[in-house]
Amino acid sequence: MAASTMTSSQPLADQGATAPGVVGATALQHARREFAGAPLYADCASQGLLSIAALEAAVVEMEYQTKGEQRHAARAEIFQNVRSLFAQLIGAEADEIAITRNVSEGLNAILHGFPWAQGDNVIVCPGIEHQAALACVLGLRSRGIEIRSAVAADGVRLDFTALELLVDTSTRMIVVSHVSFLPGLCCNLEDLSLRCRERGIFLLVDAAQSAGLLEIDVRKSPVGALCAPSGKGLLGLPGCGFLYCSQQWSERIRPIYISSTGLANQLLHVQTLADGVTFAAGSARFHLGTPNWVSLASLQVALTQLIAVGPRIIEMHVIGLARALSKAFQTLGYSVRAGTPGEARSHIVSLGMRSDIADNQLVDEKLSSLALALKRGGVRFSVRRGMIRFSFHLYNDLSDVQSIMDISSRGITAGK
C-alpha cells in the first residue's frame, strides 16, 4: 500500500517472503484495490480494515432504516448467506454455523451448555490465552468443573507434552487459541484436534486471531467448536461473530440462553410453552434474537472478498510478509518472538519480551524509541503486554514492510 524506498542492502523478497504464485498475486492485487487504505496499517490483530464495498453495504443497510423500510426477506437471506460463506471459508456445513455477537458469546455457549459431569476437568494454557477466553473458562469454576492450567513453553508457546501430562480420564475439554493474541504463535490445529478426537476430548478453539487470515479446514482439523469475531481477520464491522459447532456435538449441547430464533418452531404459543422447547437442528440452536444487521451486511461483502482470493493465498501472503518483517527486525538486533522462520508461523510479528503490564505501555527503552519513530512515521501497530505487535492482511504488501523498516532504521539512526 505505501510508497517504497528500500534501504536495506538485501531485497526483502530474499529475506524470506513467500510468493503466492501468479494467479494468487493477481487476486491479491485486485482485492487490495478494494481498500481506500489507512496507509501503513499493520494492526488487523486489533481491528481489520473495512473495504469500500463492505462500507457501502453497511451504509445501504442503515439507509433502509432511515426510510422506514423493513426488509424481512432480504435480511433473512443475508443471514443465511453469511452463515454459508463462513462455512465455506472453514470447510464446514452452513447448519454447523451460528451467528453470534462476538467470541465470548460463542465460547460461553459451549462452555456452559456442554454436558459436564461431576469430577470433569478442562485444560487451558493461561500463558497464551487472551483474557476474553480466560474469563469464559474461569466461569466454569462455580459449576464445580476443575480447571487445569498448562504451562506455556518459554512462557509463550503451546506445549503438547505439557498438555498431555494434564490429561486424564476426566478431561472432557481443551480450550486453545489457534493463534495467540501475543506474541502471535500458531498452534498445529490439525495435530491437536486429531489427538483430542482420539481421546474423546472436545477441542474448543478461539480463532479470533486466525479466521480470515490462516487456512482453517475443519474437515482436516476436527475441532469440537471454533469461535471468531467479525471485525479482525474477517474484515467486517465489529458486532458479529461466528460459532462453528460440529454436527456430532451441537445437539448434545444445550443452549444457556434460549431465544425463539434458536428453536425449531419459532411460532411459540401457550400450548408449546407448556410442552417445553425444541431446539433448532445443528448450530442454529445458539441463535440469540435479532442480529446486528449492519454488521452482517458488511460481513457478507467481506467474506465474499476473502473467498474470492482464497484462504491459502491469503495465508501464504501474510505469513510471507510477517517473515520478511521479522527477519529485517532481527537484522536490526531486535528480539522477535513471532513471525520468525521455523516458529509457529502467522501474520503477526511481535518485538520484545512479554511482561504483564497494561496495554499501550512500553518499559523497554529501545522499544519505546522505536514505537515513537513508527508513530511519527505514520505506522499503525499495537502495543500489548510490553511488546510491539504488527499484523498483516491481504491489503498489505512488501512495500509496507519496506516502509516500516525504512522508518525504523531512520529512527535508530536519529536516536544515536
Ligand X SMILES: Cc1ncc(COP(=O)(O)O)c(C=O)c1O
Nearer to ligand X (CB atom), residue 241 or residue 262 = 241
Q: What Cα–Cα distance (Å) separates residue 361 from each residue in 273, 354, 377, 388, 390?
A: 53, 12, 19, 10, 15
Q: In the complex, what is the shortest distance from the CB of residue 227 to ligand X, in angstroms, rounded to a whole number?
A: 8
Q: Which amino acid is at 244?
A: Y
Nearer to ligand X (CB atom), residue 130 or residue 385 = 130
CA triplet 383, 385, 386: central angle to 5 degrees?
70
What is the spatial distance between Cα 403 and Cα 68, in angstroms, rounded to a whole number?
47
What is the spatial distance between Cα 373 and Cα 409, in angstroms, rounded to a whole number?
9
Q: Residue written as cell 465460547?
A: 107
Helix residue ranges per DSSP H, 96-159: 103-113, 131-138
Q: In the complex, what is the shortest distance from the CB of residue 348 to ligand X, in angstroms, rounded to a whole number?
A: 10
Question: 313, 30 in Cβ contact below 8 A?
Answer: no
Q: In the complex, what is the shortest distance from the CB of residue 275 to ligand X, in angstroms, rounded to a whole number?
A: 35
Q: In the complex, what is the shortest distance from the CB of residue 210 to ligand X, in angstroms, rounded to a whole number?
A: 9
Bridge partner residues of 348 (DSSP): 391
Nearer to ligand X (CB atom), residue 132 or residue 153 = 132
Nearer to ligand X (CB atom), residue 206 or residue 400 = 206
Nearer to ligand X (CB atom), residue 317 or residue 389 = 389
Nearer to ligand X (CB atom), residue 229 or residue 352 = 229
Question: 111, 141 in Cβ contact below 8 A?
Answer: no
Nearer to ligand X (CB atom), residue 227 or residue 394 = 227
Nearer to ligand X (CB atom), residue 179 or residue 367 = 179
How many of the other CB atoms lie within 10 Å of CB of 254? 13
Q: Which amino acid is at 144?
A: G
Nearer to ligand X (CB atom), residue 132 or residue 167 = 132
Q: In the complex, what is the shortest distance from the CB of residue 408 to ligand X, in angstroms, rounded to a whole number?
A: 25
State the DSSP string of 210-238.
TTTTS---TTTS--SEEEEESSSTT-S-S
| Continuous segment of H or E residues that includes residue 388 | strand 387-391
* Per-residue buried b or exposed e for 29-68, using 16+ beta carbons within 10 Å of the residue's own CB: eebbebbeeeebbbbbbebbbbbeebeebbeebeebeeee
Nearer to ligand X (CB atom), residue 245 or residue 313 = 245
Q: In the complex, what is the shortest distance from the CB of residue 103 to ligand X, in angstroms, rounded to a whole number?
A: 3
Q: In the complex, what is the shortest distance from the CB of residue 223 to ligand X, in angstroms, rounded to a whole number?
A: 15
* Helix pair 293-309, 21-32: axis angle to 10 deg: 150
Nearer to ligand X (CB atom), residue 16 or residue 291 = 291
Q: In the complex, what is the shortest distance from the CB of residue 206 to ligand X, in angstroms, rounded to a whole number?
A: 5
Bridge partner residues of 186 (DSSP): 179
Map residue 129 onto helix, strand or coil.
coil
Q: In the complex, what is the shortest distance from the CB of residue 130 to ligand X, in angstroms, rounded to a whole number?
A: 3
Q: In the complex, what is the shortest distance from the CB of residue 229 to ligand X, in angstroms, rounded to a whole number?
A: 4
How many of the other CB atoms lie within 10 Å of CB of 11? 12
Q: Which three cell numbers stand for residue 147?
A: 480447571
Q: Omega before 183 cis (within 30°)?
A: yes
Q: Which three cell numbers stand for residue 269?
A: 404459543
* Per-residue buried b or exposed e for 315-350, using 16+ beta carbons within 10 Å of the residue's own CB: bbbbbbbbbbbbbbbbeeebebbbbbeebbbbbbbb
Binding site for ligand X (CB under 6 A): 102-104, 130, 132-133, 177, 181, 206, 208-209, 229, 241
Map residue 50 onto helix, strand or coil.
coil
Q: In the complex, what is the shortest distance from the CB of residue 178 to ligand X, in angstroms, rounded to a whole number?
A: 8
